[in-house]
Every structure is written in C-alpha cells, then in structure tokens.
Amino acid sequence: MTFSFGYSPWLLVLSLLLAGGITYWSYRTTIPALPTWWRWGLGSLRFMSLALLCFLLLEPVVRHLNETEQPPVLAVLIDNSRSMRVSGGVEDTSAQNTRDRLRSTLDAIREETPGTPRFFSFSQSLRAFSSFSVDSLTFDGTRSDHGAALQEVTDALQGQNLRGVALLSDGQYNRGRNPARVADRFSVPVHTVTVGDTTRRRDLQVRRLTTNDRAYVDTEVPIRALLGADDVGGETVTVSLRQDGTVLDSTGVELPPGTAELPVDLRYRPETAGLKQLTVLVSTVEGEATSRNNQRSVSQRVLENKRQVLVLGAAPSPSFAAVRRVLERDANTTVTARVPQTDGSFYGGPLPDTLSRYDVIVSAGFPSPAVPKSAVERISSTLDAGMPGLFLLDRQTDLEAWRSSFSEFLPVQPPSAPLRFTEAAVTPVEADRSHPVFQIEDTEIGLLRKLPPVAVPSSNWSPTPDATVLAEARRQTSSESAPALVVRRRAGQRTAAVLATDTWRWATLSSNLSAADPLWPGLISNLVRWAATQSDDRQVRVQPTTPTFQGDAPVSFTGQVYDESMSPVADATVEVTITDSSGTEYPLTMEPVGNGRYELSVETLPKGTYQYEATAKRADARLGTDRGQFSVGALRVEYQQTRADPVLMRQIAARSGGRNYTSGNVETLPTDLAASENFTATVATESSETELWRSSLLLIVVLILLAVEWTLRKRFGLA
C-alpha cells in the first residue's frame, strides 16, 4: 500500500503548523476562564478538525497492489463445418459419427490439459462455449475460415493468460486469409490436430460450370461442365442438365483411371424468358467419399426473344446484300428485310403492320425516290417514338427525304448539295479506339485503314453537337478528312450513320488481308448491338449485387434514385418487397448512403428463384419503381474436398512455433504442454486507488468534531 497527495506534502506540514497556531491563540485564555484541562480538550477538538480538513484539501490517495496467479489458458478451436463429416473416411458421415470420432480426443484435452482449456467452435465465425459439451457440435457450417478464428480468439481471451491454441480441423479452408500466413505473426504457439483421412479417396464431383450470362428464348444454349474424377476409372456415369427437376439434356461419360478432369458439353433450348437456375447432376459411383458434390448450379437470364431488326434498303445492291448477310448470320438476331421496287411496293411484302416490336431499324440506303411518302412517314414516326436507328448511305438514297424526314434522328446534317461520291480510305479516330463499336474479336481496328477504298460523299456533312465521330474518310482528291462513322446518344435514343457506300468491298477481301476479315461483319454487328442497347434513364434503379447468391451469403442490393431532372435524391424512402416462388413476401427498406445511393442487406434466404419490386417515395410523392429477379443456389463448397490437408496443418504449427498432432498421437498434447517452458502460470498485479478526499466518512468526522466543539463552547458560554 502506498500513500500520496495531489499537492506537495510540505503544504500539509505548513497547514498543520498554522492549525496549531490558530488553536493555541484561540484557547490560551478564555472568557470566562476555564480549567486547563477543558482548554486542552476544546483545543484538541479544534486542532483535529482543522488538521483533518487540511489533510482532505491536499487530495490524499491510497494505492493498493493485489497480486493473483493466473493459470495458463489453452484455446481449443474446433472446426464445426460440414467438411469434417466427409473427411473422416466414411461416405456421408453424420454429425453424430463425427462427434463420436472426436469425443475421446476432446475429453482428454479437457480433463488432462494443465491450466484452463477454453473451447470454441468455428466455421464462418467463432463461437465460445461457456460450458463445453461434445454433443453441442453440429458440423453444419457452410464455410471454413481458419484465419479469422485465430484472429478472433485472441480478442475473445483478452486479459487472460493465453499460452497456446489447439486447432482441431481437417485443414480444408475456403474462406478468408490463408491460416498459415496468419500463423506467421501469431502471438502464441498453435498446436494443430489433423482430423480425418489424409489419403486420396474415390470421388466424383462437378467442379465448374461455364455458360453465357444471357440467352434468348428458343435459341440453343451450350453449357460446359468440368468433372473431377479420383480413382473411379472404368465407371460410366450419366451427366444431366436439369431445371426444377426437369431433365433438359443428358449424356453418358466413361471415366478414365486415376485422377483426371473431364469437360462435358450439354445443351438446352429455353422456352420462356426469365432467370433460370440450371443444375448439372452426375450419377453416383459406388464407394464415393460423398455424393453431395455431384451437382452444381448456375443462373442464366433468358431474354424474351432474339434481337428484332428491320433492314430497309434503297434498292437491290451488293452493299445491301452484304449488310443483310452479316445480320442474318448472328444467332441472336432475327432479320426482317424490305427492299423497294420501282412501282413503290417492296420485295418481301409490305412494311410490317407493327413497327414498334423491332429493337432497331437499319436504313441501308432507305429511302430511294421510289418509296411512297406514307412509308417514309411511318418510319419517321417510329424513330420519333424513340426507336434506335442505323443509317447507311447508298448511291440510290433520297437525300431530300433524309433532310426532311430523318434530320432529327441523324447524327449528322446532310448538305443541300446533290449527292455525289468520291473514292476514300476510312481511318478510325485514335481518341475513340476504345468505343464498344470498335471492340471486334480476332482482329484489330487499326486494320480499317488498310481496307479497300469506298465511296464517300464529295460534299461535307456536319456532325451534330452531341455526336461522336468514330472514323474519318480521307478523300483521294483532297487532304481534308470527312466524317465516315458517326454515333449519337440523345434523350435515351441511340443512332449511328455510316457515310460510305460500296462497303461490299470490305466483305470480299483478298488473301493478303485475311487478318481483317472479321472487321466488316464485326463492325455492323457491333453498331446494331450498340444502337439496340437502351440507355438507362430510369429514376429508380435497384438491382442485386449479383444475379446468383451462394447459399450462405446474405442477399444484398444497391440502388439509385433520381428526380425528373435526373438529379440524385438523398432523402427518399425506398421499399423493397422480395417474393419467393410460393408467394411469400419479405417487405424491407433500403438504407441511404448519400448522394442518392441506397443499400440493403438481407439475411440468407433458402435456395430458389425470387422476384423483387422496389418503390421510391419522397414524402407522399412516388418517384418510380424497379423490379427484377435473382436466385439463391445451394452451397456445396464444403463437399468439394473429401480428404484432410495435413500439409497446411503442419505449416500452421511450424510457423507459429507449435506442434502438429494426428488422431494417433494427440493424447501426448497435455503432457507436452506441461513440459513446455512457455505454458506456465503468470502473476497478475492489479492496482486500486482510494481517493480519501472524496470519502464522505472523513467529512462526517470533521463535522462531528466541529459540532462537539461548538456545543461545548455554548455550554461554557464562551465568546
């Protein structure tokens, strides 16, 4: 115990001398006179009260030091994930069988470990046991995060004498940091106990699925499954593609000996639009480690139909035929072609009754002077309603019709001069080489300048202020360049213009230009695809962060809200209703995160396909809605590895300064800990302080002393 003051102790000495002087001066003589012993008694009362008051004013503090012995603590981390069931050497091991395999090991650690064992289980997160029982382990965790468990246990036991960690696991981690790297800088030794069978086991699994994110109704879709086979050679299995229990395709596969990976191709033709959850299932093989990894799921968004394109020509010509041929070869495009005849009718029949069903209109020289004005007005009205358009100039193009009917939609302004052509080479604009129109597979857009010259207008065409020139034409008769390929986005509508004809020359290249063969078909396909892609001008945009969520992952959404002027709205209320296949609804509200952005995270949902609808309101005004789909797949990652990983477990032990054990020698762990110099008790010193100047008891004593003195003075009639 130690004693200290808030001020210098010399002040206390000075205060006591001053209190003694005041007391002596007060009671050296009294009126009336009192006997000496009464004067000494009253003086003592006053001196003690003044001395105690001075003592308290100097803020005295008493410090106590308490020493306690803390026994060493061993943190026992038990892998509680599903992989512990299948790594034990028995197919589809139950949780009870896994508990029985570990019971003797855990009982020995609990009863024989010197010091205090503290038990934890972990999978995705760490769980502490206040009173541990082997029967409380479920082995149903869908992920294994060893690194996080090691980091969290030090926080959980902060302030205790943690001297070591015993990690019981099969070593199969599938989430978080590599636990061997965590062990590099771990504060105490990690003693690993490898649980499960470490030998290669007979197993067949679906390791990966590959397919397009999007598909179209009534279009064949390929899906490739990668199978992993271990010691199942000579067996023949059936690989099937399923949706909601219905078999869409299947094939037989003969498995090779040893360890191998086999790609298997399956196909299906979707009949309806929407988000489809597809599952590839492989029939089981006798003696497999587990059959739970014999299937895998993937989601695919099926669009209503192929891209509908209306191609209108000026007259039968090689350029028109080349454009039509490119679009008809695209498996995701349905082409309707119309070419005017001299009498005003069309080859292929009249214009379709409903033009709004098309995704884009390609004017390949259309219209020519032979086209009736009513047909031109129908196309103009459709474009005016927001239909995307691609305009390709032709020798027969009625330039006056372009000026009068299409000038609002063209990304360039046609001149008033008559239409005449001259030869020119086309070159991409360097600043716009990264534009999506120029992203053509198997070739390089720079080869465009090496293609044969085409016919371009001899007069200048002026791009509109909001247009972008992607390629220029360099006329042979002039050093000046003119726009050859121009694109524009305006009010959600996309249009493009190719100001060149005789482009059929680019479709029939000589052998020395074979590297540029993909240029022309790729350019036309990209222009149609770019024009048909709708600009997102919705006021409310809410979407899941991924179309398919893993079985143990929370479902999350991001959202944006804008007003009519497309300015972000930060104070909206965004309500999201999730509906499952049975019609059950989950009403939720998104959280604002600033600048018109919103977020939502939902607890894990059962496997299936879900619909959602989001509605944004500001006060009582409705700003808009958005809706969509997402799916939740079954999580089988814990069944991908069917044997323990002793190498990783040895690395964790070695890097942290611990020892590695197996089920065969783990009984020596308590003995090794007892012999370890580091696994010892420590003496913890705790200090406590008592601030006497805050003590009410001493203040009461001062008051009592003063009260007794005052009472006696009154009794004796002292002045």
Q: What local confidence, expressed as pLDDT, does residue 199 receive?
A: 60
Do residues 319 and 451 both lie within one domain? yes
C-alpha angle 555-556-561 in degrees, rounded to nearest 5: 145
Q: What is the pLDDT of residues 501-522, one digit of tens each?
A: 999 899 888 888 889 999 999 9
Distance CA 45, CA 339 (A): 124
Residue 637 resides in a domain: no
Candidate from 3-7, 156-160, 317-321, 394-398 with smallest mean pLDDT: 3-7
φ/ψ (deg, to 5) at 513: -115, 25
Q: What local confidence, expressed as pLDDT, does residue 43 receive?
A: 79
Do residues 258 and 133 both lie within one domain? no
Mean pLDDT estimate for the chain: 85
- List the CATH number of the domain containing 518: 3.40.50.880
Q: What is the pLDDT of residues 680-703, one digit of tens each?
A: 888 767 777 888 778 888 888 888
Do residues 189 and 291 both lie within one domain? no
- List the CATH number of the domain containing 604: 2.60.40.1930
Q: Which domain holds residue 253?
A: 203-298
Full 3-state SS string of 173-241? CCCCCCHHHHHHCCCCCEEEEECCCCCCCCEEEEEEEECCCEEECCCCEEEEEEEEEECCCCCEEEEEE
Q: Give yes or no for a contact between 110 and 88, defined as CB atoms under 8 angstroms apart.
A: no
Percent of the chain with pLDDT over 90: 28
Domain termination residue (choose one: 249, 276, 298)? 298
φ/ψ (deg, to 5) at 668: -85, -5
Do residues 380 and 397 both lie within one domain? yes
Do residues 326 and 402 both lie within one domain? yes
Which has more confidence, 63 or 267? 267
- List the CATH number of the domain containing 656: 3.40.50.410
User: How do 493-498 and 573-579 pair as beta strands?
Assistant: unpaired
Domain termination residue (choose one: 278, 298, 318)? 298
For the chain, what is the domain count? 5
DSSP 447: G
**Residue carrying the six token digits 């001398």:** 17
Residue 5 has pLDDT above 70, yes or no: yes
Q: What local confidence, expressed as pLDDT, does residue 535 receive?
A: 65
Do residues 492 and 363 both lie within one domain? yes
Q: What local confidence, expressed as pLDDT, does residue 638 receive?
A: 47
Q: What local confidence, expressed as pLDDT, does residue 642 receive?
A: 57
Residue 651 resides in a domain: yes
Which has more confidence, 362 or 644? 362
Residue 130 resides in a domain: yes
Residue 495 has pLDDT above 90, yes or no: yes
Q: What local confidence, expressed as pLDDT, does residue 364 receive?
A: 93
Do residues 279 and 370 both lie within one domain? no
Residue 91 has pLDDT above 80, yes or no: no
Distance CA 664, CA 610 (A): 49
Residue 317 resides in a domain: yes
Domain termination residue (choose one: 298, 324, 343)? 298
Residue 92 has pLDDT above 60, yes or no: no
Q: What local confidence, expressed as pLDDT, does residue 187 receive?
A: 86
Distance CA 646, CA 662 (A): 9
Q: What local confidence, expressed as pLDDT, does residue 111 receive?
A: 85
Residue 218 resides in a domain: yes
Q: What is the pLDDT of residues 275-298, one digit of tens each?
A: 888 889 998 888 776 777 788 888
Kindly state the average pLDDT of the residues 448-461.
90
Residue 685 resides in a domain: no
Q: pLDDT confidence of 392, banded at 50, 70, 90? A: very high
Residue 200 has pLDDT above 70, yes or no: no
Q: What local confidence, expressed as pLDDT, does residue 87 receive?
A: 54
Kindly state the average pLDDT of the residues 217-240.
85
Residue 638 resides in a domain: no
C-alpha angle 686-692-694 in degrees, rounded to nearest 5: 110
List, as one string, the DSSP characters of 388-425. -EEEE--TT--HHHHHHHSTTT-SEEPPSS---EEEEE
Residue 248 has pLDDT above 60, yes or no: yes
Do residues 452 and 520 both lie within one domain? yes
Kindly state the average pLDDT of the residues 305-311.
86
Q: What local confidence, expressed as pLDDT, does residue 670 receive?
A: 87
Do residues 566 and 671 both lie within one domain? no
Do residues 433 and 582 both lie within one domain? no
Sign of the Cα torsion 502, 507, 512, 514 reads: positive
Do residues 136 and 122 both lie within one domain? yes
Distance CA 690, CA 693 (A): 9
Residue 590 has pLDDT above 90, yes or no: yes
Nearest to 292 by CA among 640, 632, 553: 640
- Cα distances (angstroms) measured from residue 383 to each of 17, 173, 403, 700: 106, 57, 14, 96
pTM reported for the whole predicted model: 0.51
Q: Give yes or no for a contact between 563 and 552, defined as CB atoms under 8 angstroms apart.
A: no
Q: What is the pLDDT of residues 18-57, one digit of tens each?
A: 878 888 787 777 778 788 788 788 778 888 888 888 888 8
Residue 90 has pLDDT above 50, yes or no: no
Do residues 394 and 455 both lie within one domain? yes
- CA 459 and chain centroid, separation: 53
Q: What local confidence, expressed as pLDDT, does residue 523 receive?
A: 93
Q: What local confidence, expressed as pLDDT, does residue 587 receive?
A: 93
Q: What local confidence, expressed as pLDDT, does residue 639 receive?
A: 55
Q: Give yes or no for a contact between 99 and 208, defined as CB atoms under 8 angstroms apart.
A: no
